[in-house]
Amino acid sequence: MQAPSLQTEEQNETKAEPAVYMNQKELKELIEFLIEKDIAEFELERGDVKVKIKRAAEPSPAPLPDSRYIAVHPAPGPVPASAPAVVDLAVNAAPPEPEETLHIVRSPIVGTFYESPSPGSPPFVNVGDPLQVGQVLCIVEAMKLMNEIECDMAGELVKKLVANGQPIEYGQELFALRPAK
């Protein structure tokens, strides 16, 4: 024979609702799902159970070297007072070469950079290729959407500044091109 149980109204209400809990397996599956879908922060609240998951930011790749070139000329040394002033007109007469101005194509969105339409396909553009306005340069994947990045100026591709498959930020430099004359 069982002893009668004494319950308060609060206990009766709790019995009406099923207990809400998460076991370790469910929590592990949730974390794996969040990683797979690249979700950085997640919060769930059900009854007395509260789960908040926040992934640490992945370390950013080493910054790429600056692709702009700056000509640096050493400062002339002091001339001794006793030395005769000899000026080489041939050296001083040549005007300095103007620095090449390159147009930089920047990413309009955050995502993953892809240089070709599919793995194993040739890249959209290669260094040295002539480029036209509207020509597709690459694809940036953002939230499972493939966004074509088009050339905004005619010219010649001088340098790719991003590696295939690399995560990129808004405004990050992708390509350097020499404008058409």
Residue 122: which CATH number?
A: 2.40.50.100
**175 and 105 in one domain?**
yes
**169 and 108 in one domain?**
yes
**108 and 50 in one domain?**
no
**What amino acid occupies position 99?**
E
pLDDT digits (tens, 9 = 90+) for 97-131: 555 689 999 999 999 999 999 888 999 999 999 99
**47 and 108 in one domain?**
no
The whole-number pLDDT of residue 30 equals 81
Query: Does any domain span residue 87?
Result: no
The whole-number pLDDT of residue 26 equals 81
The residue range of the domain holding 153 is 100-179
Domains held by the chain: number: 2
CA distances, 50 to each of 15, 31, 47 (Å) = 20, 15, 8
Q: Which of 140, 139, 149, 151 is nearest to 178 (CA)?
A: 151
Rg (Cα) of the chain, in Å, rounded? Answer: 32
Query: Does any domain span residue 4?
Result: no
Query: Does any domain span residue 78?
Result: no
**172 and 106 in one domain?**
yes
Query: Does any domain span residue 67?
Result: no
SS3 14: helix
**164 and 107 in one domain?**
yes
Which residues, in sequence order, are CB contacts of 102 under 8 Å at separation 6+? 67, 68, 158, 159, 176, 177, 178
pLDDT digits (tens, 9 = 90+) for 124-171: 999 999 999 999 999 999 988 889 999 999 999 999 999 999 999 999
111-149 as b/e: b if 16+ CB within 10 A: bebbbeeeeeeeebbeeeeebeeebebbbbeeeeeeeeb
Give the model's confidence band at 47: pLDDT under 50 very low, under 70 low, under 90 confident, else very high.
Answer: confident
pTM, whole model, 2 decimals?
Answer: 0.45
Query: Does any domain span residue 35?
Result: yes
Query: Does any domain span residue 36?
Result: yes
Query: Does any domain span residue 45?
Result: yes
Query: Does any domain span residue 3?
Result: no
**105 and 42 in one domain?**
no
SS3 31: helix
Write the burial class of residue 168 (CB in 10 Å: 0-12 exposed, 13-18 middle, 19+ buried): buried
